[in-house]
């Protein structure tokens, strides 16, 4: 399996390179640019705006900008100050794990990522566990109790959850638990946003702020819950008609052993197709959910960067998303082998 994973990683290099080229070209050709907001500053002269754009390197052709972003600009002598003295660049490029500085925050991109990654992982992992821990048993029980009131109710509920947009569901939950339903202190039963109380300098441990995590977890994990339960139900219905299930029941095994041991393991194989990218995509954050609940994660940071056309931050998100997607499909293949012992990577 190690050789298979290594081969897949090597094959992913051209794909990742092509993704970065196309993404950088599209972003560079977009109208406006990171210096567009400077037009609203009356204290800056046209010469100042040209000088700032030159320092950022956004006036150069996009192939040169991409080369500078890829391998750095320490090889290049450019004007860096008002004195007109040519100075070498100070960027190392992503090949040396340097994503540069954010145009907006004027801070290293990796530092901003490090600050937001914890919040995103916390929300993403909680939503994934919420969807799996409820979706898998609901799917199995729906298949076993096919045609029952429980099965029909779960089917209707799954359709409703998939049909409701995340932003509307989030706003309705905020209105219901943050305004209408009151807690013992007369305030909303659950916080309406943020990761922890804004009056605190640092967030307390997770177990002390689960009330802040509950609503965004439900909104982000609701779609996965509905999807996993429906996919597993369909897969389980195909499995329970197999000969080995009838043989297990003929041996006198309990229904729990037949459904949850013999049947569920084989029914989980198609679910691995979706589970791998879901696990790898946990870090990426949820753009809409984080924005609605003011969650300080990577998704919210990405929306702010897109609005400001912050090229280094946007490209960093693109690279990490591409890497996460590639790893997700590799994880799916590994899960196939773990779930089904008949699959071997030779």
Give the whole-angstrom CA distance, residue 209 versus residue 197: 9
pLDDT of res. 83:
54
pLDDT higher than 60, residue 240: yes
pLDDT-derived band at 345, boundaries 50, 70, 90: low
Lowest mean per-residue pLDDT among 39-48, 109-118, 202-211, 264-273: 39-48
pTM of the model: 0.83
DSSP codes, 299-328: HHHHHHHHHHT-HHHHHHHHHHHHHHHHHH
Domain ranges (residues) in the chain: 35-102, 110-339
> What is each CA distance from 167 to 194, 216, 235, in whole angstroms?
16, 11, 30
pLDDT digits (tens, 9 = 90+) for 286-298: 888 999 998 988 8
Instruction: Give start and end residues of each alpha helix (H) in the chain.
Output: 2-29, 46-56, 62-71, 109-144, 149-163, 166-175, 210-239, 243-250, 255-257, 264-280, 287-292, 298-308, 311-339
Please report, for residues 139, 158, 225, 287, the alpha-carbon distance to residue 152 in angstroms, rounded to integers and kept in the order given: 12, 10, 16, 32
| The pLDDT value given to residue 74 | 64
Quick: pLDDT tens for 291-324: 999 898 888 888 888 888 888 888 898 898 888 8
| pLDDT of 144 higher than 70 | yes
Domain 110-339 coded CATH 1.10.3720.10: yes
- Which of the two residues, 86 and 326, has the higher pLDDT score? 326
When pLDDT is cut at 50, 70 and 90, the band that residue 113 belongs to is confident
Task: Name the pLDDT band for 171 (thresholds 50, 70, 90).
Answer: very high
CB 123 within 8 Å of CB 283: no
> Could you give the CA distance from residue 139 to residue 134 in angstroms, rounded to a whole number?
9
């Amino acid at each position: 399996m190690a050789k298979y994973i290594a081969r897949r990683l090597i094959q992913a290099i051209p794909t990742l390179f092509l993704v970065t080229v196309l993404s950088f070209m599209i972003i560079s050709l977009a109208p406006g640019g990171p210096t567009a907001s400077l037009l609203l500053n009356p204290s800056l002269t046209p010469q100042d705006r040209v000088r700032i754009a030159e320092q950022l390197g956004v006036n150069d052709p996009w192939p040169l900008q991409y080369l500078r972003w890829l391998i750095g600009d320490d090889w290049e002598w450019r004007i860096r100050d008002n004195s007109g003295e040519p100075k070498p660049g100070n960027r190392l490029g992503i090949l040396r794990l340097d994503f540069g500085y954010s145009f907006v925050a004027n801070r290293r991109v990796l530092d901003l990522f490090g600050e937001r990654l914890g919040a995103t992982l916390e929300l993403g992992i909680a939503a994934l566990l919420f969807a799996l821990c409820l979706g898998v048993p609901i799917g199995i029980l729906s298949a076993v109790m096919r045609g029952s009131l429980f099965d029909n109710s779960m089917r209707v509920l799954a359709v409703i959850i998939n049909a409701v947009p995340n932003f509307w569901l989030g706003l309705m939950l905020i209105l219901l638990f943050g305004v209408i339903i009151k807690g013992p202190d007369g305030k909303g039963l659950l916080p309406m946003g943020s990761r922890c109380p804004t009056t605190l300098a640092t967030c307390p441990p997770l177990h002390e702020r689960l009330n802040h995590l509950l609503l965004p977890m439900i909104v982000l994990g609701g779609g996965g819950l509905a999807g996993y339960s429906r996919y597993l139900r369909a897969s389980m219905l195909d499995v329970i008609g197999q000969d080995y299930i009838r043989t297990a029941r003929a041996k006198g095994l309990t229904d729990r052993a037949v459904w949850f041991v013999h049947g569920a393991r084989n029914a989980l194989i198609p679910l691995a197709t979706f589970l791998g990218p879901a696990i790898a995509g946990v870090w990426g954050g949820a753009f809409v959910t984080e924005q609605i609940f003011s969650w300080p994660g990577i998704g919210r940071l990405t929306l702010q960067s897109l609005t400001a056309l912050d090229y280094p931050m946007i490209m960093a998100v693109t690279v990490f998303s591409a890497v996460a997607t590639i790893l997700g499909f590799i994880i799916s293949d590994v899960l196939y082998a773990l779930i089904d012992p008949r699959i071997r990577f030779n």
